[in-house]
Structure 1
Amino acid sequence: MRIAVAGGTGTVGRHVVDVARQRGHEVVGLSRAGGVDLATGRGLDPALAGVETVIDVAGINSTATKKAVDFFTNASQNLLAAEKRAGVKHHVVLSIAGIDNARSGLYAGKLAQEESVRHGDLPWTILRSTQFHEFVPLVVKVASAGPVVVVPKMFTAPVAAREVAEALVDAAEAGPRGRIPDLGGPRSEQLAGLVRTYLQRTGQRKKVVEAPFPGPMGKAMRSGALIPAAGSAVGRQTFLDWLDELPR
């Protein structure tokens, strides 16, 4: 199968590309480096020539609600329109578990993306997953102020990016199935505890301070509403397993 991957150089995307190629699929990357801009639609038509399935794992580094909604709406609509012109048969998209309970910031953008996909003219599959293990070092990077890391009060069930990628390629191979079961990690954890463990394991001396995130998103974080419900798919790799694989 010829598969195009939007966001193929990102945390999950690079695994999607690798898994798909290992399974014998032909993979096309959709990235600005390759002359494709999802936000404007530039370069999409030639890139999608002969593509049967698109896996969309593209993202944006912003928590601003309007910016996230605008990006995911425009990118999805441009991508879907180009897919229709190219004769693509299946659109697979990665979303986030629990976003119905947190309609702001990045989550609002992903909800807008899901709506675009559901109301588009192409058969689709949506997989929602929890945060990846790589979310923890990202929090340390963006939330550090000198020797302090300010961490939102949050329950999460981090999952391996590789396992999310495998599930996305599985979905591509299975054909359109609509909303499939959410995927979460094997353990429910408090984000502050994960950050402390990461700092200790990587030799960083920082104090972790928990602070409640405001609004509906903060409430969802604190209540555990971002953890998949019973009956969802469960990954294998724990956060500690992931840490053990990091270079020393």
Structure 2
Amino acid sequence: MKIVVIGGTGLIGSKTVAILRQHGHEVAAASPKTGVNTITGAGLDEALAGTQVVVDLANSPSFEDRAVLEFFETSGRNLLAAEATAGVRHHVALSIVGTDRSPDNGYFRAKVAQERLIESSGIPYTIVRATQFLEFLGAIAASGADGDIVRISPGLFQPIAADDVAAIIADVALADPRNGIVEIAGPERAPFDEIVARYLKAVGDQREVVGDPEARYFGSRVEEHSLVPLGEARLGRFGLDEWLRRSQAAA
């Protein structure tokens, strides 16, 4: 089967491409680096010719509210139009748990817009909503830093490892379209501030983490269940401690 992975050279994309190739499929890693641009449309029709499944892992280079919305709407429209022309049978897209529960977060609003385009496209689809990646804990801590203090919401958090995300995305891509949403998360759920504190301690960062209910997550207020699945979710294999051991062993 021919599968095109949009954003196939990124963190999740490169891992997903490798897994799908190991299963014996013809997999193209599509990105501007490989001559495929979903914003301009360059290379799209050629890349999708004869393709059965498209996995959309593209991400905006800017997180500014207007820019990120324009990226996902433009990229989504161009990609879905090219898929319709090519007769693609399954569109898989990566989104975020809680996108529809944080309207003050511009990035989440843009992902909601992307999801709506997919749902109305007429192409069979599966949307995979993931919790935040363990690989982003350092950036999350930096976003809440105030000198030697890191202010993080005590709301619940259930981060997932990139390896788990890629493995589940590959499974979904090889399965029948759900025409709906699948939520995925890490195996461990705990207060957001507690997980960030454990991460910083493990990497030797001496900053103090303070649980602050008013702390924002990239502009968004975090309620108790804002960032975790509310219902059934498929869980990854690696919790924080195991992920840290694997990451440090690979360093």
2:113 matched to which residue of 1?
A: 112
From the superposition, tell whether residues 60 and 144 of structure 1 become closer, same or farther in structure 2 (CA, over 3 Å): farther
Q: Contact 2:126–2:182 at 8 Å: present in 1 too?
A: no
1:82 matched to which residue of 2?
A: 82
1:35 matched to which residue of 2?
A: 35
Moved more, 34-43 or 92-101: 34-43
Q: Contact 1:136–1:195 at 8 Å: present in 2 too?
A: yes
Q: Which amino acid aligns with 1:23?
A: H
Deviations 1:181-200 (A, max 9, x none): 31111121222222222222
Q: Contact 2:54–2:90 at 8 Å: present in 1 too?
A: yes
2:15 matched to which residue of 1?
A: 15
Structure 1 unmatched runs, 5+ = none
Structure 2 unmatched runs, 5+ = none
Q: Contact 2:118–2:125 at 8 Å: present in 1 too?
A: yes
Question: 1:85-234 counterparts in 2 under 5 A?
Answer: 85-103=85-103, 104-144=105-145, 147-211=148-212, 212-213=214-215, 218-219=220-221, 221-234=222-235
Question: 1:56-71 counterparts in 2 under 5 A?
Answer: 56-71=56-71
Q: Which amino acid aligns with 1:29?
A: A
Q: Give the Å deviation of 1:145.
A: 5.7
Deviations 1:34-88 (A, max 9, x none): 1122222122112222221100111125443322211111111111111122222
From the superposition, tell whether residues 53 and 6 of structure 1 become closer, same or farther in structure 2 (CA, over 3 Å): same
Q: Contact 2:6–2:56 at 8 Å: present in 1 too?
A: yes
Deviations 1:209-233 (A, max 9, x none): 4442459x744x2321321123222
Distance 2:143 2:61 in 1: 11
Moved more, 142-151 or 85-94: 142-151
From the superposition, tell whether residues 15 and 99 of structure 1 become closer, same or farther in structure 2 (CA, over 3 Å): same
Quote the RMSD (CA, aligned, Å): 2.2
Q: Contact 1:62–1:106 at 8 Å: present in 2 too?
A: no
TM-score, scaled to structure 1: 0.89
Moved more, 162-171 or 124-133: 162-171
Q: Contact 2:154–2:194 at 8 Å: present in 1 too?
A: no
Distance 1:190 1:61 in 2: 29
Q: Which amino acid aligns with 2:8?
A: G
Q: Contact 2:154–2:224 at 8 Å: present in 1 too?
A: no
The question of 1:239 aligning with 2:236 is answered no
Deviations 1:106-152 (A, max 9, x none): 11011000001011131111111111111212223555465444434
Moved more, 93-102 or 80-89: 80-89
2:72 matched to which residue of 1?
A: 72
Q: Contact 1:5–1:54 at 8 Å: present in 2 too?
A: yes
Identity of paired residues, percent? 37
Deviations 1:140-185 (A, max 9, x none): 3555465444434542111122222222222221122111431111
